[in-house]
Structure 1
């Protein structure tokens, strides 16, 4: 295994690791967290004991699976930002041990586990597990996208106007006002799930047509952008450039079920 040979057997091992983390650290604590199991991490953001335990499981087992790869876990990088530098070269696992933590801590779905494998800043494999339903989405570069083992092609909702889930949480007030005033009227707006492990599948499975993401940290978007692109949709920066995990400070990303829907939204965003 040289890191780029992402075979079905390799994906099966990644899936088993992710399911072990979910079933050991996450699901048993759903709606069973003690008060001291939840800690404020930032404004409108929390971390739980489940995040930390899941990350420890994933980090250990993924390292065993591919020892030549470093690991960038969300909680480890939050504690030590120098860990981000691992994204710049060589093979690197990118781990979101509990995506949708705010939902999880509030006792509601969705939430999941995200794992990606990058090489020199380029995502080459992505795996997305819904912790409650067990739905497993995955993709590898030039290898297609799959849901529960079945190859899938992204499909739009076919609604008019198209369905949009626009994440404005991390926008500054002026930018948020511009998006709501000049972008939102062209779409049927729906709530965001606050969970990338749910949002990217929605763009592939015919639930949503387009999404805007402002903050684009690698553990939230590495797996999902690859999954959407390999399914035939499009995920890219606002200028059309490819999403790279080593550009973690860059903001702005559009995801769409089809390239046409992406182009239409990008043109509107460019006029703001």
Structure 2
């Protein structure tokens, strides 16, 4: 991850020309740094575990059939530059996300902050770590709890329901438009809860594992575990404690 950052990402930060930024969809861009970083990461991961499939965000954009590999016996999942809109605008946060899944269940996750060098990782059943130190999720202690609610990919009715049925119960803060930043915030006592509408595997596989392994809770609103092959389904809740998760899920069931 550090190699991809040093070779492909940081040299492009705040130096991108217009022709090095392309629109993938409305309000969603990709840059030359995304493509270069994914190539570096894919090459390195293939050497580490040759038997594993590799599913990268940009490769899937070019060939959506690659998503079928998410349920393989082993699968690397790559977001080579998460927070690309921020990166393209020349501002933080942005990072790199890598996860390893076994038959749809995430068993390893790595989150790298490109500017600070903060490195989060988690392994199923073995805890969560930041820069080598084990972490334990903790609420912010604020009352009302701090919520970061992603409305970007919600349809108008859903957006209004979240604004009227959920937001008044929390102190709402802006989302960073970067899962590589949002998930650590939940584990490190900065935010208490988050709601995600879009749940793509490269955005969330590593973060869900990090939060769950740190003692917080991330799951579908109905309580089901997040599985990477179901990443086109909508709806995901993360919370810094199981109690805060239960409280938010109960409210969401009413809207």
- Which bin holds the TM-score, normalised by the shorter protein? over 0.9
Deviation of 1:248 after TM superposition, in Å, equals: 1.8
d(CA) in 2 for partners of 1:265, 1:79: 37
Matched with 2:151 is: 168
1:225 aligned onto 2:225: no
Matched position secondary structure for 2:107: strand
Matched position secondary structure for 2:229: coil
1:23-172 paired onto structure 2 within 5 Å: 23-172=6-155
Flag structure 2 segments of 5+ consecutive residues without an equivalent.
Answer: none
TM-score, length-scaled by structure 1: 0.93
- 1:46-104 CA-partner distances (Å, limit 9, x unpaired): 00000000000000110011101010000000110000000112100000000000000
Matched position secondary structure for 1:72: strand
d(CA) in 1 for partners of 2:70, 2:22: 27
Deviation of 1:182 after TM superposition, in Å, equals: 1.1
- 1:22-56 CA-partner distances (Å, limit 9, x unpaired): 11100111100011000011000000000000000
d(CA) in 2 for partners of 1:22, 1:196: 17
d(CA) in 2 for partners of 1:267, 1:213: 16
d(CA) in 1 for partners of 2:39, 2:45: 10
Matched with 2:196 is: 213
d(CA) in 2 for partners of 1:214, 1:35: 30
Matched with 2:167 is: 184
Deviation of 1:249 after TM superposition, in Å, equals: 1.6
Flag structure 1 segments of 5+ consecutive residues without an equivalent.
Answer: 1-17
**Root mean square deviation of aligned Cα:** 0.4
d(CA) in 2 for partners of 1:249, 1:137: 25
- 1:101-145 CA-partner distances (Å, limit 9, x unpaired): 000000000000000000100000000000000000000000100
d(CA) in 2 for partners of 1:162, 1:208: 8
| Aligned mate of 1:243, from 226, 231, 249 | 226
Matched position secondary structure for 1:249: coil
TM-score, length-scaled by structure 2: 0.99
d(CA) in 1 for partners of 2:187, 2:122: 12
- 1:179-235 CA-partner distances (Å, limit 9, x unpaired): 001100000000000000000000011110000000000000000000000000000
d(CA) in 1 for partners of 2:231, 2:188: 27
d(CA) in 2 for partners of 1:118, 1:263: 26
d(CA) in 2 for partners of 1:198, 1:249: 21
- 1:216-261 CA-partner distances (Å, limit 9, x unpaired): 0000000000000000000000100000001022110000000000
